Chains A and B, each alone.
Chain A
Amino acid sequence: MDNRVADITLNKDEMRLWGSLALQGIDNAMSGLATMVNREIRMSSLSLKQVPASEAPDLVGGADKMVIGIYLAFEGDATGHLMLVHQPDVALAIIDMLLGNEPGATRDLNEMEQSALGEMGNIIGSAFLNAIADALSLRLQPSPPEVILDMAGAILDVAFAEILQQTDDVIVAETSFGTSDRQARGTFLVIPSFNFLKVILSNAGVEK
Chain B
Amino acid sequence: MILRDVVYAIDYFVFGYFVAINLVYVTLYLISFLEIADHARREAFRGLTDLYSSGYAPPVSLIVPGYNEEATIASSVRSFLALRYPVHEVVVVNDGSRDGTLDVLRREFDLRPSGQPVWLRLETAPIRGVYVSRTERLIVVDKENGGKADALNAGICAASYPLVCCIDADIILEEDALLRVARPMIESSEVAAVGGIVRVANGCRVERGRVVHISTPPDPLPNFQIVEYLRAFLAGRVGWSRLNALLIISGAFGMFRKEDLIASSGYARDTVGEDMEVVTRIHRTLREKGQRYRIVFVPDPVAWTEVPSTLRVLWRQRDRWHRGLLDTLVRHRKMLFNPRYGVVGLLAMPYFLLFEALGAVVEWVGYVAFVIGLALGVLDLQFAVAFFLAAVGLGALLSVSVVFLEELRLRKYPSWRDLARLTAYGVLENFGYRQLTTFWRVWAIWSFLRRNADWGAMERRGFGS
A and B: interacting chains: no
Name B's A-contacting residues (CB within 8 A): none
List chain A positions with a Cβ less than 8 A from chain B: none
